Amino acid sequence: LGLSGPPGAGKSTFIECFGKMLTERKHKVAVLAVDPSSSTSGGSLLGDKTRMTELSRDMNAYIRPSPTSGTLGGVTRTTNEAILLCEGGGYDVVLVETVGVGQSEFAVADMVDMFILLLPPAGGDELQGIKRGIIEMADLVAINKADGDLVVPARRIQAEYISAMKLLRKRSKVWRPKV
């Protein structure tokens, strides 16, 4: 599964909860988390593993943060090979967290079985902020943080994306993207 979304959408938190659910069901889960690299120093924080503390201690999970090192598209130059290595190593679920959202951060969509766009409610002008390119590639749009005071904004953004996705050309004859 490939996951992308804007900063603050809760990608790492979602992956940790989903990953723990999968390992409790006896799956072996690999997480390939891609972090942006500095254009000045070339360095990267690689902080996603530290935000997934429970999953990182799970013996049936493997988390590998990697820097983009200037690669565009939201993944690294070797993400596809890393997916194959994880599968070869016995991990039956591989989650790829992209660097973040933008119009062109969907290279992962061609590497995975399902591409999920994770969105927070109440982020402003959602349809303007998340451009057509990435929406067209999403197999699933998941509205995260949809509880408490955010239930109503979450329902509104869900309705907006359902309407917007009806205008997009279908990529598959058997799957219609869900929101």
173 located within any domain: no
Instruction: Give the mean pLDDT per block of 10 residues along the chain (179 residues).
Output: 88 94 98 69 53 92 78 66 95 88 65 91 58 79 92 92 82 87
CA distance 84 to 33: 15
**67 in any annotated domain:** yes
Q: Is residue 177 a part of any domain in this protein? A: no
Structural domains counted in the chain: 1
Q: What is the rounded distance in angstroms from the CA atom of residue 125 to the CA atom of residue 128?
A: 5
Residue 102 lies in a domain: yes
CATH of residue 112's domain is 3.40.50.300
Tell me, yes or no, whether 41 lies in a domain.
Answer: yes
Domain span at residue 83 reads 1-165
In a domain, 24, yes or no: yes
Task: Give the pLDDT of residue 44.
Answer: 44
Look at residue 88 in the predicted model and tell me its pLDDT.
Answer: 97
Q: What's the pLDDT score for residue 164?
A: 84
- What is the pTM (predicted TM-score) of this model? 0.83
Q: Looking at residue 43, what is its pLDDT?
A: 47
